[in-house]
Structure 1
């Protein structure tokens, strides 16, 4: 009788191990198929920024399902475990409040799509190019090459400025000239500058005007519309160019001055 029990026990254990092996093989096939599908979807237009989040959701779901199936194979009552988790769900939710908030925010960012991979955004004190949206955080790369990992909830809970969403942007160039300078000459210099640059768009039209009368200068603003991709380089280029053009035109750029009176007894 003992031998029979041993044989049955060995066969049962062998069957459990075989079943577990088949489950592992099935999981490997699922992962492989999932990666192939994601690759095809990316080629057909799926935003690469969404891939990390989708992958994380699939992976963690697979972990949970695999664990439950594995426990069932070895005769563990998973209903009791699930009941315990359900009973403790409130405590778990409170303990993982921030984590769950990041997950929910990541899903909302994925579906509402305020940005995509490669977009340059600003949110709060974070500014950079989007790398990808993960289950808990979003990665960005700053203009000075820093890697930033921002919690999804911090992005979802604050206004997002997407500098890459529109194809055109307005470039504002402001400079202060001396009160004694001729505004007609200043405006003429800027009109010629705008007309000579093909990268400045004709529509919407450019504008040149006096922005305000400051303490030491008359502040003149040049507003032009450019392609979003040209914005950073044009801004750097024309801040330098305006200085040179005003120097050539003998237009003074003043600096703040203070007059100190000394009272003698």
Structure 2
């Protein structure tokens, strides 16, 4: 009877103490849930404002929401008196196990985020990366999809793309075409340079700025080699190169200037009589 009376006397204090804890726990949960949604929306909007892929932005936003919400749950349980140290240890161990199991996937995900944030390449760029070449068709969370000029599809892991050298042929508005034109030793150097200059001046693809370069570069075994280096707009690169090679060949042929092929002169000496 005395125990019951003692409990009855302690009941108001118990209700006040633990009631406040429960109320505070509910408040912490509500505020934490609200903050997790705010963090998610801010992260997603910030990434979309930087023109980051929508899939990646959504995934990162959900990841931020999950992290904030987990901390909210831990804070809520701690407020009502639950020992959270062991819970944090369990969550840490579980996270470590999952991280080790998904090490490759997490590496690809992190590389994908870095690709869309720092933009070493974008969709539509023609690149050399991860040992392959092609036009980037899609950058997803874990991999990058490339299309080769002959329309083959290559899917490369994002980690392989970011861990190696990326050569981006589309990053700049202008590209230089590097050509080596060889003519015979009997050709007149001044006349040859004049013909090459006329071809470049009359080609619609060749830009006036930066100026092109035509120079004698090498006295090779079978030819005199000129370097011809015009600048063109990046999308026009291949069309310009193919057209210039054809025009240069026709112009040199019209001037009777030989474009030699590798050859060797053999001199036969009289064999001694037996």
* TM-score, scaled to structure 1: 0.69
Q: Which runs of 4+ in 1 moved over 6 A?
A: 59-65, 79-82
Does structure 1 residue 212 correspond to structure 2 residue 183?
no
| Structure 1 residue aligned with 2:253 | 247
Contact 1:102–1:137 under 8 Å retained in 2 = yes
| Structure 1 residue aligned with 2:184 | 178
Contact 1:52–1:132 under 8 Å retained in 2 = no
Match of 2:54 among 37, 51, 54: 51
Offset at residue 117 of structure 1 (A): 1.6
State how far apart, in whole Å, the 2-side matches of 1:130 and 1:64 are.
32
Contact 1:209–1:220 under 8 Å retained in 2 = yes
Match of 1:221 among 213, 217, 227: 227
After superposition, the C-alpha distances for 1:172-214 in whole angstroms (9 at most, x for unaligned) are 2221111111111111101111111232111111111012121
Cα pair distance change 1:179/1:58, threshold 3 Å: same
State how far apart, in whole Å, the 1-side matches of 2:129 and 2:257 are.
39
Offset at residue 124 of structure 1 (A): 4.2
| Structure 2 residue aligned with 1:145 | 151
Q: How does 1:41-190 map to 2 (within 5 A)?
A: 46=51, 50-57=53-60, 84-190=90-196
SS at match of 1:230: helix
State how far apart, in whole Å, the 1-side matches of 2:102 and 2:125 are.
30
User: Unaligned regions of 5+ residues in structure 1, if any?
Assistant: 1-29, 66-78
State how far apart, in whole Å, the 2-side matches of 1:45 and 1:97 are.
27
Offset at residue 259 of structure 1 (A): 4.1
Contact 2:199–2:244 under 8 Å retained in 1 = no
Cα pair distance change 1:216/1:63, threshold 3 Å: same
After superposition, the C-alpha distances for 1:15-44 in whole angstroms (9 at most, x for unaligned) are xxxxxxxxxxxxxxx9xxx9xx99xx98x8
Contact 1:56–1:134 under 8 Å retained in 2 = no
Contact 2:112–2:141 under 8 Å retained in 1 = yes
Max Rg structure: 2
State how far apart, in whole Å, the 1-side matches of 2:268 and 2:63 are.
76
Aligned length: 218
Contact 2:199–2:247 under 8 Å retained in 1 = no
Offset at residue 240 of structure 1 (A): 1.8
After superposition, the C-alpha distances for 1:121-144 in whole angstroms (9 at most, x for unaligned) are 222422111122111101111111
Cα pair distance change 1:257/1:92, threshold 3 Å: same
SS at match of 2:177: strand
State how far apart, in whole Å, the 2-side matches of 1:196 and 1:259 are.
38
State how far apart, in whole Å, the 1-side matches of 2:57 and 2:140 are.
8
Match of 2:199 among 193, 199, 210: 193
